[in-house]
Amino acid sequence: MSLPIVLITGQLLTDAVWQPLADVWRDREIIIADNQSDDSIAGFAQRLLGKAPAKFILIAHAMGGFVAFEVMRHAPERVAKLALISTLASADGPAQTARRQGYIDLVERGAFAQVVEERIPILFPEEKRGDERLLGIARQMAADTGAETFLAQQRAIMGRIDSRPRLGEIEVPTLLIWGEKDGITSRAHHEEIRDAIAGARLEVVPGAGHLPTIEAPEIVEPLLSAFIER
C-alpha cells in the first residue's frame, strides 16, 4: 500500500505550486498542508501533524522546508521520506531580515501588490520574467494569499530557529531539489543540508528559479516520483 504524500509550500504561495504534481499523482493520497493559518513555524508544524496520517512522505518547498525541519524534530517517526525543494536550514541573517522588513513596510503602507512585483526578480531567472503564464501564476498566488496572511507568514519566517545543528538527526531517505537560477536559496544552502543528512541526495534543475515545480515539472515530477517509489 502506498504511503500518503503531504505537501507544504511557502509564503505568498498556494496549492498552485503543486498542481503539475497532483495532475500526475491522481492515484496517490495527497494532503496539502495549510500554510496560511498560523504565524509561527511551530504552529504550522503542529497543524500539519494534526491533520496528517500516522505515517507519510513529506515534500516541502521554500518556507515549507522550515516547517519540515520542525516536524522532523518533533515527530521523526511519522515521516518515511523527506523531499526538500528551494529551501535552507539556517535562520535569517541581517540582509534577509532587512528584506523582509521592507516587505512589511510596503504592506503597512497599503502597497501589498508591489510585494510580489519586487519578488519576481528573485523568483524567476531573467529569461523567464516575460513569461506571462508564470507571472500570472505568481501574481494569482499572492492575491489568493492576501496581505494579512503574508504578514503572518513573515512573522513565522523571521522567528524561526536555526535548524542546522540537528540536521544530522534526520535518518530518513532525503532528496533535495534546487533550481540553478534560484534567487532566494543557493546551491551552498542545499549542499549544507545534503552534507549534514546521511545519504541525502541533491538534484539541480537547469534553468529553473525558485519555483521549479511549475517552471520545470517535466524534470521535477520524475525526480520526485522515482524517489517516492524507490
Q: Which residues have CB under 8 Å from 120's CB, separation 6+?
A: 129, 135, 138
pLDDT tens-digit profile of 98-117?
888 999 999 999 999 999 89
pLDDT value of position 197: 98
Burial 184-216 (b: 16+ CB within 10 A, else e): bbeeebbebbbebbeebebbebeebbbbbbbbb
Least confident among 69-73, 94-98, 192-196: 94-98
d(Cα 121, Cα 62) in Å, to the nearest integer? 16
Q: Provide mean pLDDT across the span 185-206.
A: 98
Would the pLDDT of 224 be above 70? yes
pLDDT given for residue 96 in this prediction: 87
Correct CATH for 5-92+155-229 of 1.10.3080.10, 3.30.70.360, 3.40.50.1820, 3.30.70.660:
3.40.50.1820
* pLDDT classification of 219: cutoffs 50, 70, 90: very high
The pLDDT tens digits of the residues spanning 5-42 come to: 999 999 999 999 999 999 999 999 999 999 999 999 99
Q: What is the pLDDT of residues 133-191, one digit of tens each?
A: 999 999 999 999 999 999 999 999 999 999 999 999 999 999 999 999 999 999 999 99
**So what's the pLDDT on residue 99?**
87
Residue from 29, 7, 10 nearest 19 by CA: 7
Per-residue buried b or exposed e for 90-114, using 16+ beta carbons within 10 Å of the residue's own CB: ebbeeeeeeebeebbebbeeeebee
Q: What is the average per-residue pLDDT within 84-90?
A: 98
- pTM of whole model > 0.75? yes
How is the chain split into domains, by residue range? 5-92+155-229
| CA distance linking residue 152 with residue 148, whole number of Å | 6
Dihedral (Cα; 205, 13, 150, 70), 10-degree rounding: -70
pLDDT higher than threshold 70 for residue 1? no
